[in-house]
Structure 1
């Protein structure tokens, strides 16, 4: 059941409109906080190493552990919010995230910090599908598209602000303890969100909830095991030597196949599955989720290899490296807000246009590094990265709108969980693939600029793969349009 249409002109409807806008800002603030902790921690790793005496494996788990538990809980969290109420699920996630952030900042050993980061990642993964579900619940049509456009802008802003904020905090509080404030900064935000959420966020109406016919522990166990087996060797690709780790990936694929058959059985028996497989009968959802997974395998790795190139290759500081990434993130944030409005008019064609912009921008960045490989590289790549960022903003937010547009409100959280899980798996796979190419060339030739170029070429492969998916959906949409008109 969709959210009721808003009719302007009465005091009651205007008050409801204002409340929805305030509720949206609460959701955006929560998303900003959880996304900030992805990018802000990367620049704090040297400070953590000095302050806690952490080994390289510990630092790897500080980053990959967050992503692992984030991806692990997305689908069950979305289903829980759909069935039990998204507002309560949101509040639980925010409280846990805030508490885990405090424990991260107070850590006295690497093990303490890693354990706290695992909890923090799980809490962030619990919050994320509730945000998507609440937007689906509160808005419809063009307003929903604009709301997702604003959410896309938050992704770009958090990505841009994270490295800069991390660098400033470390400079302000010192290299030994500055990293603690990277986590403590979440406390006032989390407390403020917790205070205003009960008053502003809507409760899920009983008729907007799917029928609750019990808990599916076997489904949760199969999904969790499959996601961990799939993501763990990808996240630890550089730390775990040898090829034996890829057997876990094969095991993960087999477990996820078993999960798929189990969920089909649950659905046929009228039981409550963790994942409603009817979602994949919607072409827009199935292809949109696939596009998101493939695209995230490419675009997120740009930050990964470019940051390493700047800090380890050119010896830039954390703040300088963060500033060099601002053109991409700023372009993405600005274009995402516009994309949320334009997608209603142009549909999947806008995503195709955005992906072409990303491809041209990344290719131009590769050429710029080829001809300006030294300390002038950040200036030479600023304009190409801005173009790639604009293309990315016209890809992510519009693709989210199109992927979820046909999803019933009662399944919004589950659908968002599936979409985000695919993106997390894509990110891990992309970093593993691009990182392998980047570090292999670096080990053999010790040429930072050439390694970056090969890494960017690998990124282009993923972008073009996403473009193929987008063109497939665009072609199918155009074929289906005359049929829809005939039926109407």
Structure 2
């Protein structure tokens, strides 16, 4: 399974075309990942417009993440086997259609159904983008495009509340939430047209038809759903029995692993477990899972703190997160360029910067409790954002470096599935800490935010420990 391939010289037209194809993929990735966070600030408007119940609103937010994570690996495998262009165009077409349907929703049930389909469409698109980088670029060439993808991931996650706030401010409280979904439609149509023209179909030498392992798809799907359901429904399902679904999901995933090992003896499996023999893939996937558990939860509790606790508008809440987004964008571009020179220590430096930045955020809130929170948190969040940019893109480059091109989609899909599970678990854990502290402190929003941010920082510190173990072992 060696992947050492020297970059082949390309003429100017071929080189331009592959960067154009990458550009289309990055726009699509930005759009689909943006929808993870952009809807958060629209929830109050959706509540008033559709008279949604708390359960409906939870499904609007978490249903997207659930179906997103559910289809990543099967969609990546489909792209590997049948061509990335077909999978990409189908995914973006479905995403565009369901975005329009979500914007036209007249009832909570309609909106929830549209969001579930929208999340599945996003799950189809994203592994194709990562697989496209593996297919079009070789060796050290991949650092720059992975840096751009890392910047896309970081910016889309952080800038969602800001863009959502802007759209609601422009569209008005009554209908601004609809534009959160409608904004995807023209961009999606353009991505479909350009994707069909520019994206390659199958890597050279790939057979026309390859088996797609339906039993593996079913087992992985059931396992992921059982893991994610109690996490995304943490605030709505009060019964403690919900946590029994997690060991059940883990048991199903063990069966999935046994099936894949057996299936691989005669056919190509949905996911080749041999990828975990690569230390870079195993460790990178672990770091990504843990990091997204802390990273994604920060924006969830910060938005609640600013809007519900301190009374800031959706636009101001979005602007408060902008320093993180700017720092992440700048550092991701840099990290992608230098990751081949510094390797895993670069990821360790990034994780340390995130921990320092988030710790400083707690400190400044305690030292200046009466100062405007968006102002006093700007500098430490900028530091955390710079650190995040040095984590996501370099870690992704290192994780996928040894993955063969014909398994790039499924390998990236499994990596992103771990990120989605980590994000759901982190939001559940940090969110629970936030709400329980809020209740115990009799409505002290600042205490609730500080306590939950300490937990998120602790989760990210675990990712730092994993990176340091690898660095010290190699040293």
TM-score by length of 2: 0.96
C-alpha displacement at 1:51, in angstroms?
1.1
SS at 1:63 equivalent = helix
Equivalent of residue 318 in structure 2, options 306, 313, 322: 322
8 Å Cα contact 2:134-2:408 kept in structure 1: yes
Residue 5 of structure 1 corresponds to which residue in structure 2? 7
Alignment partner of 1:238 is 2:235: yes
Residue 58 of structure 2 corresponds to which residue in structure 1? 60
C-alpha displacement at 1:342, in angstroms?
1.0
8 Å Cα contact 1:74-1:417 kept in structure 2: yes
Equivalent of residue 30 in structure 1, options 28, 51, 54: 28
Residue 483 of structure 1 corresponds to which residue in structure 2? none
8 Å Cα contact 2:81-2:210 kept in structure 1: no
Residue 414 of structure 1 corresponds to which residue in structure 2? 410
Cα distance, 1:213–1:202 mapped onto 2, change above 3 Å: closer
Structure-2 separation of matches of 1:263 and 1:245: 28
SS at 1:7 equivalent = coil
Structure-2 separation of matches of 1:129 and 1:137: 12
SS at 1:93 equivalent = helix
Residue 484 of structure 1 corresponds to which residue in structure 2? none
Residue 443 of structure 1 corresponds to which residue in structure 2? 439
Structure-2 separation of matches of 1:7 and 1:130: 24
C-alpha displacement at 1:165, in angstroms?
2.1
Structure-2 separation of matches of 1:17 and 1:288: 29
Q: How does 1:92-171 map to 2 (within 5 A)?
A: 92-171=90-169
Q: How does 1:208-227 map to 2 (within 5 A)?
A: 208=206, 214-227=211-224
Structure-2 separation of matches of 1:373 and 1:142: 47
SS at 2:241 equivalent = coil
Equivalent of residue 343 in structure 2, options 330, 343, 347: 347
Structure-2 separation of matches of 1:476 and 1:260: 28
Q: Size of the alignment, in residue pairs? A: 472
Equivalent of residue 459 in structure 1, options 448, 456, 459: 456
C-alpha displacement at 1:279, in angstroms?
0.8
8 Å Cα contact 2:143-2:339 kept in structure 1: yes
Question: Which stretch shows the higher mean deviation, 139-148 or 14-23?
Answer: 139-148
Task: Give a deviation string over 1:289-335, Cα, whole Å, max 9, x none.
Answer: 01100010011111111111101110111000000000111111110
Q: CA RMSD in A?
A: 1.5
C-alpha displacement at 1:140, in angstroms?
1.8
Structure-1 separation of matches of 2:31 and 2:92: 10
C-alpha displacement at 1:474, in angstroms?
2.1
Residue 254 of structure 1 corresponds to which residue in structure 2? 251
8 Å Cα contact 1:82-1:410 kept in structure 2: yes
C-alpha displacement at 1:181, in angstroms?
1.1
Structure-1 separation of matches of 2:380 and 2:166: 26
Residue 293 of structure 1 corresponds to which residue in structure 2? 289
C-alpha displacement at 1:476, in angstroms?
3.9
Equivalent of residue 70 in structure 2, options 69, 72, 76: 72
C-alpha displacement at 1:78, in angstroms?
0.6
Task: Give a deviation string over 1:16-59, Cα, whole Å, max 9, x none.
Answer: 11111111110111011111212211111111111111111111
Task: Give a deviation string over 1:207-258, Cα, whole Å, max 9, x none.
Answer: 256x965232221111111100100100111111131110111211111111
SS at 2:38 equivalent = helix
Q: How does 1:460-475 map to 2 (within 5 A)?
A: 460-475=457-472
Residue 201 of structure 2 corresponds to which residue in structure 1? 203
Task: Give a deviation string over 1:245-288, Cα, whole Å, max 9, x none.
Answer: 101112111111111111111112x1232111111111100110
Alignment partner of 1:313 is 2:315: no
C-alpha displacement at 1:69, in angstroms?
0.1
C-alpha displacement at 1:157, in angstroms?
2.7
Cα distance, 1:232–1:374 mapped onto 2, change above 3 Å: farther
C-alpha displacement at 1:86, in angstroms?
0.8
Structure-2 separation of matches of 1:164 and 1:467: 29
Residue 81 of structure 1 corresponds to which residue in structure 2? 79
Task: Give a deviation string over 1:416-475, Cα, whole Å, max 9, x none.
Answer: 000000000000111111111111111111221111111111112111110111122223
Structure-2 separation of matches of 1:164 and 1:238: 25
8 Å Cα contact 1:3-1:137 kept in structure 2: no
Structure-2 separation of matches of 1:72 and 1:374: 44
8 Å Cα contact 1:150-1:340 kept in structure 2: yes
Task: Give a deviation string over 1:67-105, Cα, whole Å, max 9, x none.
Answer: 000000001011111011111111110111011111111
8 Å Cα contact 1:155-1:333 kept in structure 2: no
Structure-2 separation of matches of 1:319 and 1:464: 31
TM-score by length of 1: 0.94
